[in-house]
Amino acid sequence: MRVLQLTPGTGSFHCGSCLRDNALIKALRTRGHDALLLPLYLPLVTDADEANPEQGVRVGGVGLYLQHKFPFFHKLPKFIHRWVNSESTLRWASTKLGMTSARDLGEMTVGSLEGEKGRQWPVWNELVDWICEGANADVICLSNALLIGLAPALKRRTGKPIVCALQGEDAFVDTLIEPYRSQAWALLQENAKHVTKFISPSKFYAEVMSKKLAVGPEAMTVVPNGINFETFLPVRPTQEPPSPTIGYLARMIHGKGLTTLVDAFILLAKKKSIPGARLRIAGTKTEADDKYIAELKKKIREAGFENRVSWEPNLSFENKVQFLHELSVLSVPATYGEAFGLYIAEAQGVGVPVVQPRHGAFPEILEITQGGVICDPDDPQALAVALEELLLDDARRHKMAATAKVNARAHFSATKMAENFEKVLLEVTTTAAKAPQPA
């Protein structure tokens, strides 16, 4: 089966969607499929073994922005297009993520979802032309629902089924200012009619997006995210941390619960029940996050625990893996209902138990892995108590870590994800082949 996967890149930092899609394409190839991963917006940042290093970005984010702002942009000389879509320009632009105004962000999102009716279409149309002329795909997969402005044209012009993965889009769309939030949801619902099947990473998120997109449960299939755990070996030998170490691994923002975790750590450190306890904060950081992080650092410094907290932004893949192996427990107490939380599978797959809030997909994941503790959301005191109890009970923590490692690797591997994904692809392509063809 010829599978085409369209995935937005980040350009300068690791992202769960990029890692997931890269692992998926490689695992589908192992299963005998001709699978191609095509980056959009910015270059992909994955592990050391990229699925398609020869594939450049097809739709550059800078060119797309300029097309939206200046409708004549697509008519400018080709050398200008080559420059704005060059890897160096795109990687520079990636460092400015998060600096876009709320209005521009809303306009760009709606413009993309408008598809053929939007000002961005001359750029998107070049991608559709390429897919129709050269991709020869049996099925076209979109990495997330924010790409489904492409679905009507792709389905009409290729006649192939369109599969769309879901990756937590509601958390983004719901932060847009009005009128763009309402416009975006209306366009998502309209474009959803042209998607053959949606793939959700959890039962929780399937229910959320079934309502948000106004599609029936038959349009949704649950395929948990997966990881190639073979690449998660430490670069140097590890052992139990000399001091109990709490880790955080996600974007360094309030929404991922970093404020809650910092407040919980301060409460725990003041209690002195776990002498020498440390907090290591890692994950994506952009310029837009600097002010927020500076405020947290000030809070920690004023509490007197600056020397017990480390900040490790934008780790390489190898350093991220090493980081995970050096933790006693991980917590990313997101303030909203996560669709999955790949960092949970990553941590548990190397034997690190987690403490997570009781919402989103977290209870569902931890029921499967039996490798973590659930506590009340947005409550630093409850989080501090849960972390304290786990760190004080070595036997329970070690047993939980061992169980989590086995179960996470059994249920959330790239191989398992590809196996389940393959079933969906075979279903939609078989159904499409049996459908009556237009005269």
Is residue 373 within 8 A of residue 313, CB to CB? The reply is no
d(CA 293, CA 259): 9
Percentage of residues in the chain having pLDDT higher than 90:
72
CATH of 229-412, one of 1.10.10.60, 1.10.287.620, 3.30.450.40, 3.40.50.2000: 3.40.50.2000
β-partners of residue 221 are 199
Which amino acid is it at 77?
Answer: P
Domain ranges of the chain: 2-228+415-434, 229-412
Helix, strand or coil, per DSSP, at residue 34: strand
Helix (H) / strand (E) containing 426: helix 414-434
Q: Are strands 329-330 and 220-222 parallel, antiparallel or unpaired?
A: unpaired
| DSSP letter for each residue of 118-181 | STTHHHHHHHHHHIIIII--SEEEESSGGGTTSHHHHHHHH---EEEE--SHHHHHTTSPTTHH
* pLDDT tens, position by position, 243-294: 999 999 999 999 999 999 999 999 999 999 999 999 999 999 988 899 999 9
Are 2-228+415-434 and 229-412 the same fold in CATH? yes
d(CA 73, CA 302): 51
d(CA 160, CA 180): 30
Residue 219: both structure tokens together: 């349009």
Q: How confident is the model at residue 42 (pLDDT cuts 50, 70, 90)?
A: confident
* pLDDT tens, position by position, 74-105: 777 877 777 777 777 766 666 665 545 678 88
Q: pLDDT value at position 439? A: 47
Helix (H) / strand (E) containing 407: helix 394-411
| DSSP letter for each residue of 330-389 | E----SS--S--HHHHHHHHTT--EEEESSTTHHHHHHHH--EEEE-TT-HHHHHHHHHH
pTM of the model: 0.90
Q: pLDDT value at position 59? A: 80
* pLDDT tens, position by position, 140-175: 999 999 999 999 999 999 999 999 999 999 999 999
**Domain 2-228+415-434 of CATH type 3.40.50.2000:** yes
